[in-house]
């Protein structure tokens, strides 16, 4: 789809790479007062993907909000990707999204057709997820932005946290890495259309199938891999669980084109922020290349789920996931705390 203006040219950064660094964000949030309510079982103090408020013994409300500048020029695809990314937080908590509201910033360069196409992309992806967009808020801005606030539901006893992994768990990742490197390189015309089409389709793919499959099994922890990268989000899981996570770099799925681009230094700024945040808790063996580490620090937009599953259920879960999501892979395991929060082999 051709538009009268390239959306990515209107933004200084793209997708989840626009997120404030995890370390900076943690320092800010630590200064905020917290209000305690026994019904609020997950709040911002938990560094989790969404908040969870218990309504009754059978029902809890899951809420999240996510928006970002354009990562693609096609406005319809931008709307789809931004909505998919926002909906993912509900899935990461084990919930089902039901209601959503638009959050949008528009610039003077954007036509009504462009704005409509972004919104239509969001509406269609929400509909696919089984959620209804009921309104929202739009402001004039110096850069385009779009996303959703999303409300969903989950049984209070089936909430999945990013800090509840257990010793012996197996880790499964459901989407390949390299999105930040590839979209950064695309701005320099270093990525071909077939690769771009592949990663755009990946970013617009809901984590619904992964969620619907994983909740059949004994899952202890889950998070989605977005702006803080595989290592940033895994670091939060390891720290919150007070355990060590071992990652097998040879098993981590990634887009092969991202590796050569990483070797050339085509690394988004967000990857350096992620490294600054997490590397204090990461030990990498000598056989793990710098390029592979860069891929693991690369900020992802609308990435996959990282699932901590009981070892006894891991084989059955990965088999069923692979039937629906062929790229799903076992990427590591959890042990008692050793010398680092994360050990990469």
Tell which residue, 191, 172, 308, 175, has the closest CA to residue 243.
Answer: 308
Per-residue DSSP letter, 343: E
Catalytic residue, candidates 13, 16, 222, 327:
16
Helical residues (DSSP H) of 216-310, grouped into ranges? 229-241, 256-263, 269-278, 290-297
Strand, coil or helix: 282: strand
CA 204 vs. chain centroid, Å, equals: 12
Binding-site entries:
19, 46-49, 66, 89, 136-138, 224
**Tokens 């620090």 — which residue?**
297
Binding-site entries for Mg(2+):
49, 89, 224
Cα angle 14-16-19, degrees, rounded to a multiple of 5: 100
Distance CA 28, CA 124 (A): 35
16 is catalytic: yes
Binding-site entries for ATP:
19, 46-48, 66, 89, 136-138
Distance CA 222, CA 164 (A): 8
CA atoms within 13 A on the CB side of 57: 0
Rg, Å, the chain Cα set: 19
Return the structure tokens found at 198. 């592949």
Residues involved in catalysis: 16
């Amino acid at each position: 789809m051709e538009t009268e203006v390239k959306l990515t040219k209107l933004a200084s950064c793209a997708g989840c790479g626009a997120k404030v660094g995890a370390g900076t964000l943690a320092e800010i949030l630590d200064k905020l007062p917290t209000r305690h309510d026994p019904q609020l079982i997950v709040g911002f103090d938990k560094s989790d993907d969404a908040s969870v408020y218990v309504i009754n013994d059978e029902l809890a409300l899951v809420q999240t909000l996510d928006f970002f500048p354009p990562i693609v020029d096609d406005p319809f695809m931008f709307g789809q990707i931004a909505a998919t990314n926002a909906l993912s937080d509900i899935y990461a908590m084990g919930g089902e999204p039901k209601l959503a509201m638009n959050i949008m910033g528009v610039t003077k360069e954007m036509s009504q057709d462009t704005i409509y196409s972004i919104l239509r992309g969001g509406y269609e992806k929400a509909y696919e997820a089984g959620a209804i967009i009921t309104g929202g808020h739009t402001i004039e801005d110096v850069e385009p932005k779009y996303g959703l606030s999303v409300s969903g539901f989950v049984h209070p006893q089936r909430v999945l946290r990013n800090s509840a992994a257990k010793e012996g768990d197996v880790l499964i990742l459901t989407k390949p890495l390299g999105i930040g490197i590839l979209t950064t390189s695309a701005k320099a015309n270093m990525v071909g259309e077939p690769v771009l089409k592949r990663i755009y389709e990946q970013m617009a793919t809901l984590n619904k199938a992964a969620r619907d499959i994983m909740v059949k099994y004994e899952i202890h922890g889950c998070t989605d891999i977005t702006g803080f990268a595989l290592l940033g989000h895994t670091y939060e899981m390891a720290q919150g669980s007070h355990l060590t996570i071992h990652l097998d770099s040879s098993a981590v799925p990634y887009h092969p084109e991202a590796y050569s681009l990483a070797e050339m230094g085509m690394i988004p700024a967000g990857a350096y922020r992620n490294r600054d945040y997490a590397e204090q808790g990461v030990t990498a063996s000598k056989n793990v290349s710098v390029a592979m580490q860069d891929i693991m620090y690369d900020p992802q937009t609308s990435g996959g789920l990282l699932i901590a599953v009981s070892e006894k259920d891991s084989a059955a879960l990965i088999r069923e996931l692979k039937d629906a999501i062929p790229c799903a892979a076992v990427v590591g395991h959890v042990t008692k705390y050793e010398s680092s929060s994360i050990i990469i082999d």
